[in-house]
Structure 1
Amino acid sequence: MGILRTVGVVCAMALAGCVTPSGTLEQTRVNFNAADPSPQAFKVCGDIGCANQVPVSLTRAEWRHVQRAFPRRARTPGEERKFLAEALRRLEVMVGDKTGYNTDEAFSGIQLSGNTQDCIDEMVNAAVYLELLDNAGYLRHHQQGRRLTLGMMTRRFWTHTVVTIVQRSNGQEFIIDTWAVKIGELPYIMDRDAWATNEPFRRDF
């Protein structure tokens, strides 16, 4: 009876979309062999579950293009999230062109054509990009958070995993989701609790 009750609780949590912390972003980068990235040398994941890792290098001009997503020091946490979303968008487009992952669609898994990245690929890549931007001093109002995984029966019936950032002033946690948008679109950055309870995707800038 105890075992059945435990299974029932686990299933209920999955149906409710429970969120499971899956470690720091530093540990995530280590786990996926993507630690210590720099603009001159980093790896990105693709082909579902990080089955393929591609070395990438940005030129000085390309990195400056990413940096221009921050036209000034952000005055508020919301403004910083807006600048961050644009920087991530630029990185995704640039890296996609370099690696062939420039046909990736929103919510992609197995596509009929072109290279694809699932939410694990996108999560690892976002963790790498956050480290690049953090090391460059662009995260002033936020700090890197962790990897979170959402249970089944939510977000199009997939288990889903994302990275987070934490607002320094009040501890509010925001998820960053690049998987839920087509390449070239701004990623979603939204309140973690709203995301976990399956509210519509939005951009909390």
Structure 2
Amino acid sequence: MKIATKALYPAGLAGLLLLNACAGQSTGQATSWYASHDGVAPRPDRIYVCHGFGCTYTTPVNFSARDLNRLKRILAAGSRSPEAERKAIANAVAWNEKRVAPEVGSANDIGGLDLHNAGVRGQMDCIDEATNTASLLLVAEKHGYLKYHSVSGPVARGFFLDGRYPHATATVKEKKTGEVFAIDSWPKANGEKPVVQDLNVWMAG
């Protein structure tokens, strides 16, 4: 995936502010993320897809009974173990990105740091991606599709002074062990599987 690092300076103050927005930490439940990041919490059959960077735009997408059944089947494939469920979660996120793309205009969303697309409908920064992934997972949790994990709040790393770009990700917590895992779709283009890894590893990345 191409990383447009040189776009940082042409983007100017607006670009810096967008990156700084990615440094916002979430506390408490996943639903607390939305109020502080201009997102809209999902309903059991609807998500509000953030795009344009920093949730500049939100597009409601309704899930039909067929969509929900599809999501259920994808996640049921991971019922053997927590590790298998995390793989299934990655498949569900990839499916969801393809599912919403025609309504959102995000089929060509570019993965990774790509500041020249700030404000462009259908393009997503880390705030958009973390919000959208959390929304999908909250829908799945609401319907009882997750066996081994609960949905925890998105978190962030980096703040320039430590030499790293600010970046946020959705997370899930394994119920038995309490271990938290990053579900990070930002580095990948639309419809590709997200990066799934132990949150401590992700934080050190």
TM band (smaller chain): 0.7 to 0.9
Aligned to 1:181: 188
What aligned pairs does 1:89-168 form with structure 2 within 5 A after superposition? 89-111=94-116, 115-153=122-160, 157-168=164-175
Percent identity between matched residues is 25
Aligned to 1:81: 86
- Matched letter for residue 138 of structure 1: Y
Q: Relative to 1, partners in 2 of residues 1:108 and 1:60: Cα closer, same or farther, differing over 3 Å?
A: farther
In 2, Cα distance between equivalents of 1:20 and 1:114? 22
Report the number of matched residues: 178
- Matched letter for residue 50 of structure 1: C
Runs (5+) with no aligned partner, structure 1: 1-18, 199-205
For residue 126 of structure 1, report the CA deviation from its aligned partner: 1.1
Deviations 1:117-153 (A, max 9, x none): 0000111111111110101112221111122110135
* Residues 29 and 128, structure 1, Cα contact 8 Å, conserved in 2: no
For residue 25 of structure 1, report the CA deviation from its aligned partner: 1.0
Aligned to 1:197: 204
In 2, Cα distance between equivalents of 1:125 and 1:56? 11
- Matched letter for residue 170 of structure 1: T
Aligned to 1:51: 56
For residue 158 of structure 1, report the CA deviation from its aligned partner: 2.0
For residue 157 of structure 1, report the CA deviation from its aligned partner: 4.4
In 1, Cα distance between equivalents of 2:109 and 2:39? 22
In 1, Cα distance between equivalents of 2:135 and 2:182? 15
In 2, Cα distance between equivalents of 1:144 and 1:106? 23
Q: Relative to 1, partners in 2 of residues 1:166 and 1:108: Cα closer, same or farther, differing over 3 Å?
A: same
Aligned to 1:14: none
Aligned to 1:62: 67
Aligned to 1:16: none
Which has the higher mean CA deviation after the structures are superposed, 140-149 or 69-78? 69-78
Bigger radius of gyration among the two: 1
SS in 2 for 1:129: helix
In 2, Cα distance between equivalents of 1:33 and 1:118? 13
* Residues 39 and 50, structure 2, Cα contact 8 Å, conserved in 1: no
Aligned to 2:179: 172
Runs (5+) with no aligned partner, structure 2: 1-22
SS in 1 for 2:128: helix
For residue 173 of structure 1, report the CA deviation from its aligned partner: 0.9
In 2, Cα distance between equivalents of 1:80 and 1:145? 16
Return the TM-score normalized by structure 1: 0.78
Aligned to 1:38: 44
Q: CA RMSD in A?
A: 2.3
Return the TM-score normalized by structure 2: 0.78
* Residues 104 and 114, structure 1, Cα contact 8 Å, conserved in 2: no
- Matched letter for residue 34 of structure 1: V
In 1, Cα distance between equivalents of 2:121 and 2:168? 23
In 1, Cα distance between equivalents of 2:49 and 2:34? 11
